[in-house]
Amino acid sequence: MPYKITHDADTDCVRTLIEGELDMDLVRKIANDLRDVAFHNGCKYYLSDIRQADVKLNLWEIYELPELTASVLPPSFRAALIVRSESDLSRFYQNASRNYDQSIKVFTDIQAAERWLFDDQLVK
């Protein structure tokens, strides 16, 4: 399987690891599976690691991702996306997500992503 979704009960985080070709059909399948996990566990935190993925999404598909995300995740979610290297497309995705008032940030370092993702847990 080109992706794996797990739930970390300690951090209440859903983690997705994606390998191989990532196209819009696979994104939709992952979104459906995330909907099920999010509904079942009521999670707030999401970390997706696509460093091993070969991203085959065009600009329009990336523009549509925040709308798809809004349809599957709870309104108060926080998500980190781990990429191999930052690009214009990853920055575009992060900015498009802001237009939907979504808390999504792109990282190249998983430790930095986790620090940002769970920052509000440290304040409690």
> Of 103, 99, 57, 105, which is closest to residue 83 (Cα–Cα)?
105
Half-sphere exposure of 63 (CA within 13 A, CB side): 3
pLDDT at 121: 62
Q: Residue 53: what pLDDT? A: 96
- Domain encompassing residue 100: 3-123
Overall number of domains in the chain: 1
> What span, in angstroms and rounded, lies between the C-alpha atoms of 79 and 73?
10
pTM: 0.90
pLDDT at 42: 81
Judged by DSSP in three states, 17 sits in strand
pLDDT along the chain (124 residues), means of 10: 90 94 97 87 91 96 94 88 93 93 95 91 50
The whole-number pLDDT of residue 43 equals: 86
The domain spanning residue 107 has which CATH number?
3.30.750.24
